[in-house]
């Protein structure tokens, strides 16, 4: 996260946008969710890299996005 994010300097702004994503995911119309996904995908476009032992990742991976959303949701609750 540190390599790809400015969350430490924009904490409340990032928290607000993340909560908007979660709200759209849980309560939004299909069009609202599509719009929010476009915003998230634009922000995540440059997030790619290699993990330990040569594993690669990118922020478009739906399983990774679900893990992040679920972790934030659990933390919020």
Tokens representing residue 76 in the block: 């919020």
pLDDT of residue 4: 67
Q: Are 77 and 69 in contact (CB under 8 A)?
A: no
pLDDT of residue 68: 79
φ, ψ (nearest 5 deg) of residue 21: -60, -45
Whole-angstrom CA distances from 55 to 18, 30, 44, 61, 64 are 26, 33, 18, 13, 14
pLDDT of residue 32: 93
Q: Are 27 and 42 in contact (CB under 8 A)?
A: no
φ, ψ (nearest 5 deg) of residue 58: -150, 155
Each domain of the chain, given as residue ranges in start order, spans 11-76
pLDDT tens by residue, 31-76: 999 998 898 888 878 777 776 666 677 787 878 878 877 887 787 6
pLDDT tens by residue, 7-18: 778 878 878 888
């Amino acid at each position: 996260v540190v390599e790809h994010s400015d969350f430490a300097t924009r904490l409340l702004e990032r928290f607000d946008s993340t909560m908007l994503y979660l709200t759209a995911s849980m309560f939004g119309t299909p069009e609202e969710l599509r719009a929010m996904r476009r915003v998230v995908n634009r922000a995540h476009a440059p997030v790619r890299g290699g993990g330990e032992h040569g594993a690669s990742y990118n922020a478009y991976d739906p399983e990774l996005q679900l893990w992040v959303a679920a972790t934030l949701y659990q933390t919020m609750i």
